[in-house]
A and B are shown apart, each in its own frame.
Chain A
């Protein structure tokens, strides 16, 4: 007990206590740009949210962003892992390449994409589209494309994670099961559907859970690439809470937004862990 206590105390002090304070803050009006208005607001911040189209917009973006990035990561990661498993040589070098995006700071990834990859005229993507005779797109400046771009950035950075986990999971499957299935006249698709998939299901579930949590709190890459813009085109809830708190200095309302995000995160993780245990 004496061994666990220090860490437990630190965790309570550094994580749980601030959350209580966050909850309290969310009930207050703290606007550093108009400090004379500060005071207790009760449920005011939460009531304000209902009539705040920007909040609903950010909630909608959060949903799109989370679902699309997680689905893309899992599908691409699994597909790539299945492919790479069949390559007789060179798995090692692919693994190294896959690690590169993972170790990079998301903020730097956002910057790379904003400048070297997606910038008009000189970015890599534009170079390619121009070489193909297509028009030049403003990937981060056009509101529709911007959302697509930040989803692509996130997927680029984190698909290797899903890929590596799936690859490790696939390589650890016992080969005799597949041999038995072949003898039992299962086709390649049937082997995948009835053997591979159920066996790596735990890995998939865990990847989904972890990646969902990350996507919900994604910040730095979007912040660096678009800052939430243009306008509010890529402003997921996380960014909205940040901008409200630290750009507009309305910390009370920001805290309320953060509380909503916290509630969503906990609810989603609770549901997912329940679903995981149910099987």
Chain B
């Protein structure tokens, strides 16, 4: 298979002076997979993508594409295409010339180039704009032009660096869906960098979560959502993200702010833990944690209630308009199976 697109990165280390941007990244991406690199800015996800593209030299480690070591290869020799955050369209060329450029550089015959350019342009619906220059296009059209330039050469690997971040919110949602469809239709492996957890969760087959130059969790979106590996991941994923509360485990009984919770008896060492609960798993009840309503944010179809629990603000999300007002004293409860328990020192998930 010419266009397999299996990626394997081993022990990637990248330093900028005394600062270590990547502390030994290991990553495996299967052919045809839509793989997202997710993390806050500065977490190393873009650097990882650029190393994969060959744009960034690395200090240690190995990059393999389809079982071949390409660590020392120039970007042009790796058969990968990239969509830049800024699109990096060549401003002095027309859309047609932009899309044709990667083919022209390897001396593709004119007729074949012409067919490929028109085909790629049609796939992203910009075939009527081929004579324009990038400066005459809207942001969305520029983004499509960059996409067309990437897909025209049928690369084995398709790299996208926050390709949607310069689009307005509505267009972003539409393009997200189209991008996914396009990748499916082409059957090409895609690596997608984003800091938007919702984007990563909706578009990707699998996600790698980056924190401070390390991959802290790799998995399917639903798995990461259901079982975040660390409290940091838990606090990063979901909107609003998971509530984290300091709690105490003693003799199998869990206490938050001194109030014992109706949880099943828990195994594990006695001592402090970090308790995580998703906002949607919380509900206002007769009994439970005492809380004071701090703010009610009505979003139309859902409502977010900010609650003060022993001096800490937690968020509750519900689809029914709750009958509470700011300043009210209420109780919140949740099902025991909605609990996530993390080690407060290491942040690691504890299986209970």
Direct contact of A and B (CB under 8 A): no
Chain B residues in the interface with A (C-beta under 8 A): none
